[in-house]
């Protein structure tokens, strides 16, 4: 991650810890946790929090439809400005009407399959360019999930994709969050991928909801509620 004079990102509204109050532009974070741990809801909260303060948001979805992403943001952000929302839909069964259902001002890019990592990267870059042309220069990207990509292609290909995308985030001064089901992959896969990220947010399910802890982002933390 390169040094920058751009304003920091405040993620502490979602993660109430001091180290999340000033996250550097260009930061890429791995969000790891088992299925049903709340990690997807968490990254949507992070996107919505940015939209609420005038930033842009790009959601890369490999599992759910565009309409689910838009509905999730609508539920979290009052008077959602669709012109600051982007969705890269990687599902092979994406419906042609998804673009219209997402709102006429939202940016929607369809990719044929989660294995088309080049197409996904192009979709994200086009989103950056579109927002920049509209005068927006700050935003957050959430990719859900690396585990789905790993079922379609090999570890090294996903590693290269994440490396390129992290560089694009850095150059664009965005913040990125990449979800993964850590329990679905072997230690070598997780160790290889972790090298790419500036830190990790672990998420788990607890009796009263989801909990998180930080690793490699400032001081590591104990488990605490999201």
Render pLDDT for 126-154 as a digit per residue (tens, 0 to 9): 999 999 999 999 999 999 999 999 999 99
Proportion of the chain above pLDDT 90, given as a percent? 82
Q: Is residue 69 part of a domain?
A: yes
pLDDT digits over 46-76, tens only? 999 999 999 999 999 998 889 999 999 999 9
- The answer to whether residue 226 is domain-embedded is no
Residue 31 lies in a domain: yes
Number of folded domains in the chain?
1
Nearest to 68 by CA among 95, 92, 50, 49: 95
CATH number at residue 173: 3.40.50.300
Do the domain assignments include residue 3? no
User: How far is CA 182 from each of CA 31, 69, 112, 149, rounded to the nearest angstrom?
Assistant: 9, 23, 25, 13
For residue 189, the enclosing domain spans: 21-219
- 14 within a domain of the structure (yes/no): no
Is 6 within the bounds of a domain? no
- Report yes or no on 2 lying in a domain: no
């Amino acid at each position: 991650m390169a040094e920058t004079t751009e304003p920091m990102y405040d993620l502490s509204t979602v993660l109430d810890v001091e180290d999340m109050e000033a996250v550097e532009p260009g930061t890429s974070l791995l969000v790891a946790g088992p299925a049903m741990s709340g990690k997807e809801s968490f990254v949507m909260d992070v996107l919505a929090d940015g939209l609420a303060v005038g930033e842009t948001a790009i959601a890369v979805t490999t599992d759910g439809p565009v309409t689910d992403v838009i509905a999730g943001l609508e539920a979290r952000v009052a008077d959602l400005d669709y012109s600051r929302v982007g969705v890269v839909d990687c599902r092979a069964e994406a419906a042609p009407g998804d673009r219209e259902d997402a709102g006429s001002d939202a940016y929607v890019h369809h990719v044929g399959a989660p294995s088309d990592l080049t197409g996904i990267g192009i979709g994200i870059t086009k989103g950056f360019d579109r927002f920049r042309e509209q005068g927006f220069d700050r935003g957050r990207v959430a990719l859900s999930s690396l585990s789905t990509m790993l079922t379609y292609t090999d570890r090294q290909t996903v590693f290269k994709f994440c490396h390129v995308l992290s560089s694009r985030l850095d150059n664009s001064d965005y913040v990125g969050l990449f979800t993964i089901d850590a329990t679905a992959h072997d230690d070598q896969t997780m160790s290889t991928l972790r090298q790419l990220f500036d830190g990790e947010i672990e998420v788990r399910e607890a009796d009263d909801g989801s909990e998180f802890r930080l690793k490699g982002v400032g001081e590591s933390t104990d488990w605490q509620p999201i």
